[in-house]
Amino acid sequence: MTEPDPRFWLGAFLPTAAVLLGALALTCSWSGRLPSPVAQKWDWSTQDVITVAPLWQGVLSLAVPSAGVLIFLVFLKWTGKLTGWGRRISIAALAGIAVFTAASLPVMLNGQVGLTDPQLAPDPRTIMGVTAALSLAYGILTALIAGGRPLATPAAGTTPTPALELEPNELAVWTTTTTAWVCLLGGGLPGLTLIILGSTTPVWGLAIPGGILLALGITTGRWTITVDHKGLTCTTLLGLGRFAVPASPGAAAEVVNVHGLSEFLGWGIRVGGSSSIGLIFRNGEALRVHGPNGYSLTVTTYDATTAAALFNAQTARPHTT
């Protein structure tokens, strides 16, 4: 993506890179006061040193993965993958991992400063646990600072699908149903598993979240998609969930080809910045409607061309109710 994203660069990338560079600088300043080799691994039961290695190996084993994760985060940014909740989750996970691996370097070496025998190095497990907790908090904080981004914005130079020709008083409705297997299986299988465990083990409380997951899986496993004079409406089984975009002036529909994993970091119900929604149940043809202020609703469906043409015809009418 070429658009500016200062919240990502200033709130996530630069602070994480600063932690990595700071860890390397601190390690270099200690290099003359560390044993050679340095302790690298400890036995968790006895807390004795079990592995020693040259300092440069310890640096590479932690700094390189941290730098690699940071580069991958930038790659996701440049390729436009950091959108919606996938953006927040990716930033939280990757920034947290990068900070943990980078900070683990001085944490591992701190107790060895001034020692000549690496076998005397204290086990850093406690401070490592604290570092892990702080890294998790850091990842969450960076995700909050970076915020969300719309799942989809109109591509430059593209035009909406041509509007369907309708008579002034002609009424037209396009509707279809689709099975969201990713939701049905994603909620149904874990739900059934928890219900069975709750029924056959003493942990009966597992049946409660199992029932909730099963109900959600069944409800979101079947969708009705409708385009009429009101606009685009997507409703779940029994109408218990609903997403809609009114056919108001300025709204526009287009047909797109989507790839759930690469574009939305997954399938199912995807939520992005500016209240953009993705109902991504499979890869392939999808209807996308753009509303004001970056809002969009993308839903995978067959015959999306007809749906988009009808929606654009409704927005072109002088009075849409």
Token pair belonging to 182: 């990713």
Task: Point out the least confidently predicted range of 125-129, 305-309, 316-320.
Answer: 316-320
Note the pLDDT of residue 34: 95
Distance separating alpha carbons of residues 20 and 14, to the nearest angstrom = 10
| Amino acid code (one letter) for 118 | P
| Amino acid code (one letter) for 129 | G
- Scanning the structure block, which residue is given the tokens 């909730």? 212
Asked whether 293 and 145 are in contact (CB, 8 A), the reply is: no
Q: How confident is the model at residue 3 (pLDDT cuts 50, 70, 90)?
A: low
Q: Tell the burial category of 176 from Cβ atoms under 10 Å away from its Cβ (0-12, 13-18, 19+).
A: middle
Note the pLDDT of residue 233: 96
Taking only the tens place, the pLDDT of each residue in 197-221 is 888 887 888 899 999 999 999 999 9
Note the pLDDT of residue 228: 94
Note the pLDDT of residue 8: 87
User: CA–CA distance from 297 to each of 3, 57, 275, 276 (Å)?
Assistant: 21, 50, 9, 6
Does position 314 have pLDDT exceeding 80, yes or no?
yes
Taking only the tens place, the pLDDT of each residue in 231-253 is 999 999 988 889 999 998 889 99
Distance separating alpha carbons of residues 186 and 180, to the nearest angstrom = 10
Asked whether 106 and 23 are in contact (CB, 8 A), the reply is: yes
Q: How confident is the model at residue 320 (pLDDT cuts 50, 70, 90)?
A: very low
